[in-house]
Amino acid sequence: MTTMADVARSAGVSVATVSHVLNGTRPVLPHTRQAVLDAVEELGYTTNTLARSLVTARTRSIGLAVSAISNPYFTEILQGVEAAALEAGYSLLIADPHDDPEHERKVVQLLHERRVDGVIVAPSADPHGLLAYLGRHDVPAVLLDRLVDGAGTDGGPRFDQVCADNADPTSRLVTHLAGLGHRRIGLVAGRPGLSTTSERISGYRSGLAFAGLAYDGRLLVHGDSESAGAEQATEALLSLGEPPTALVTGNNAMTIGVLRALGAHGLSVPDDIALCCFDDFAWADLFSPRLTAIAQPGRDIGARAVHVLLERLAEPHRPARTVRLPCAFVHRTSCGCPSPSEEGTPS
Ligand code: HPA
């Protein structure tokens, strides 16, 4: 295997000069720099990152642990993380904790044992083992999408966190449906224990309150954040004596389950029942009717998580912070509006 010493010998310079050219650590005269690059090319030299890590105690790698990677929302996050990491010269190690607390702690330990410089994790509904591990080993970490209340000594969060705004956009879906005359608006909510679920529920409730509608607990069901759970939960809503005339779904996967259940009951959207969805996805405008949805900034969330992690690595002792990114209302026709503009302001 070609070494830096081979490159130095071939270019007629010192090993230190080769290192400065390759790592950009000091300016090098243009003709010397070119001689080094030519030797690198000619000898087929590639950087030995393991050797470099032994010297710098950094691996320039980030560990990413997100469940449901096949979900388009998390795929977008992954794309954002990957692009931002690459731009900063970091590589990625990816793990799927399968939303299982024990597995989550284990995969984060594995990433840490590979000596990633920091981790980005979307925590499960029971993240205690994960948080204890991160805290005990002082692992630089950014929590993504789901917030935890791990209060630090100052009462604030103990970890940097990056997520979408959940409550206001959900409230907006409810007030939009109420503005169209609906009085019985159901919510198919996600898995209990996730902050995304509780924040969307609180948005649902504040939307009802804002519209002057009473909260009726029978209209709120949990779909476990997944399609099959949402299908069952929708069945329960439809079997009520007075079923809802409009539904809000808590995420994209649950929207699929809700549509299955409505189809099985022969209900058409929006004539028989109106539908507004949290989470947009690439083919939401191919459904008939086209789905009115809240679009989360998945790529931006992923990229921001990387930036926050890099800031943490540069300044390990600065206070933790929570970054919340806004969502967009994508106004289509499943809500019952005849031909709304794509991102029009709902009534
Ligand atoms: N959080 C936020 N949005 C989502 C999720 C989630 O876990 N799943 C699908 N959309």
Distance 299 CA to ligand 1 centre (A): 13
**Span 71-93, mean pLDDT?**
96
Distance 73 CA to ligand 1 centre (A): 7
Q: Are 63 and 90 in contact (CB under 8 A)?
A: no
* Best mutation site among 251, 278, 325 for ligand 1 pocket (most ligand atoms within 8 Å of CB): 251
Segment among 75-79, 116-120, 157-161 with least mean pLDDT:
157-161
The percent of residues in the chain predicted with pLDDT above 70, rounded, is 95
Q: Name the closest-CA residue to atom 4, ligand 1.
A: 251
Q: Name the closest-CA residue to atom 8, ligand 1.
A: 251
Q: Is the CB–ligand 1 distance for residue 166 below 6 Å? A: no
Give the mean pLDDT of the chain.
92
Residue 285 has pLDDT above 80, yes or no: no
Residue 250 has pLDDT above 50, yes or no: yes
Q: Does residue 101 have a cis bond before it (omega within 30 degrees)? A: no
- Give the chain's length: 347
CA-CA distance, 193 to 325, in Å (whole number)?
21
Q: Name the closest-CA residue to atom 10, ligand 1.
A: 251
Q: Is the CB–ligand 1 distance for residue 71 below 6 Å? A: yes
The whole-number pLDDT of residue 150 equals 57
Q: Is the CB–ligand 1 distance for residue 196 below 6 Å? A: yes
**Span 337-346, mean pLDDT?**
63
Q: Is the CB–ligand 1 distance for residue 224 below 6 Å? A: no
Q: Name the closest-CA residue to atom 9, ligand 1.
A: 251
More confident residue, 69 or 312: 312
Q: Is the CB–ligand 1 distance for residue 197 below 6 Å? A: no
**Span 73-92, mean pLDDT?**
96
* Ligand 1 atom, smallest distance to 194 CA: 7
Residue 341 has pLDDT above 70, yes or no: no
Q: What are the tens digits of pLDDT across the range 127-167?
A: 999 999 999 999 999 999 999 875 444 555 689 999 999 99
* Ligand 1 atom, smallest distance to 71 CA: 9
* Ligand 1 atom, smallest distance to 146 CA: 1
Q: What are the tens digits of pLDDT across the range 198-217?
A: 999 999 999 999 999 999 99
Q: Is the CB–ligand 1 distance for residue 225 below 6 Å? A: yes
Q: Is the CB–ligand 1 distance for residue 67 below 6 Å? A: no
The whole-number pLDDT of residue 12 equals 96
Domains present along the chain, CATH in parentheses: 4-47 (1.10.260.40), 61-164+298-325 (3.40.50.2300), 167-296 (3.40.50.2300)
Distance 323 CA to ligand 1 centre (A): 17
Q: Which residue has the tokens 């080094």?
A: 36
CA-CA distance, 20 to 31, in Å (whole number)?
14
Global pTM reads 0.88
Residue from 153, 107, 112, 111 nearest 127 by CA: 107
Sheet hosting strand 91-95, strand order edge to edge = 91-95, 61-65, 118-121, 141-144, 160-164, 322-325
